[in-house]
Amino acid sequence: MQITLPRARLQVALLAVMAVIAGVGLGVEVLKPLLHLRSQSGVVPLFSLSYEQNVPTWYTSSLLFVCSLTLAVIAVGARRTGKFVKHWWGLSAAFLYISLDEVVEIHEAASSWLDLGGVLYFSWVIPAAAAVAVFAVVYLRFLSHLPRDTRNRFLLSGGIYVTGALVLELPLGYWTERAGSDNLIYALIDFVEESMEMLGVNLFLLSLVDHLAVQGWTIGFSPAAPEPRPAALEHPT
């Protein structure tokens, strides 16, 4: 017997978990000044989207890692046709790196390379934007050969993620330089940014599931085979 996970239920489950994570993160930030919650310990650093090494961080990192694994599965399957195998593996490696970066904050180190201000207060967005541009050019032919629905879903989810991860860093940097990061406005901007990142990754994962379905793959779970019973001992008569 095989238990298959319907795509619609998977979508509801993924988006519901995302809504809970984002909602709790926003809630603790709104309640922080009202209930005088501490910023350095307790529920705020544990659930706020503005903090690192906490529940939202590990949630997003796990999602990115699942995308990397799913892309690796697609890359293995692409060997049958020999088309764009390296591109699928490249995407898998990219998502694995982003998953690690989400936890260890590698990109934050790039901000020390340039001492800028204003909207470029978080100066790591400059090399990141250049990397995204190069990546887009390299993958232009790959995208053009994808089925139209898959391509559109990739572009939509990628656009949402990049808008959150890069574009919204500009107003966030401007506000951080002006008023710091320990205030509600910063938390609200960061909430929108992180929520868009989570939404983009969820939509991309669902698009990968749809792509696997087009290729004839299904998501299912088979129960473990029962262990054989030991043979009954025969007693001599």
pLDDT tens digits, one per residue of 183-234: 999 999 999 999 999 999 999 999 999 988 877 666 655 555 555 555 554 5
Sequence-distant (≥ 6) Cβ neighbours of residue 218 within 8 angstroms: 4, 212
Q: How many Å apart are CA 96 and CA 64, to the nearest integer?
A: 7
Q: Which of 32-36, 77-81, 205-209 has the highest mean pLDDT?
A: 205-209
Q: How many Å apart are CA 104 and CA 212, to the nearest integer?
A: 31
How much is the pLDDT for 1? Answer: 40
Report the DSSP beta bridge partners of residue 220.
4
How much is the pLDDT for 179? Answer: 93
Residue 3 has pLDDT above 70, yes or no: no
According to DSSP, residue 221 is labeled: E
Percent of the chain past pLDDT 90, that is, above it, reads 62
Closest CA to 135 of 169, 157, 158: 158
**Tokens encoding 227:** 């262990």
* pLDDT confidence band for 80 (50 / 70 / 90): confident
**Tokens encoding 159:** 């656009």
Classify 227 as helix, strand or coil: coil
How much is the pLDDT for 224? Answer: 56
Residue 36: C-alpha distances to residues 31, 42, 153, 164 (Å): 8, 12, 42, 29
Residue 68 has pLDDT above 90, yes or no: yes
Q: How many Å apart are CA 157 and CA 202, to the nearest integer?
A: 8
Contact between residue 148 and residue 210 where contact means Cβ atoms under 8 Å apart: no
Report the DSSP beta bridge partners of residue 3.
221
Classify 229 as helix, strand or coil: coil
pLDDT digits (tens, 9 = 90+) for 83-125: 899 999 999 999 999 999 988 877 666 666 677 788 999 888 9
Amino acid at the residue 124: W
Whether the pTM exceeds 0.95: the reply is no
The torsion defined by the Cα of 214, 217, 218 and 219, in degrees rounded to 10, comes to: -120
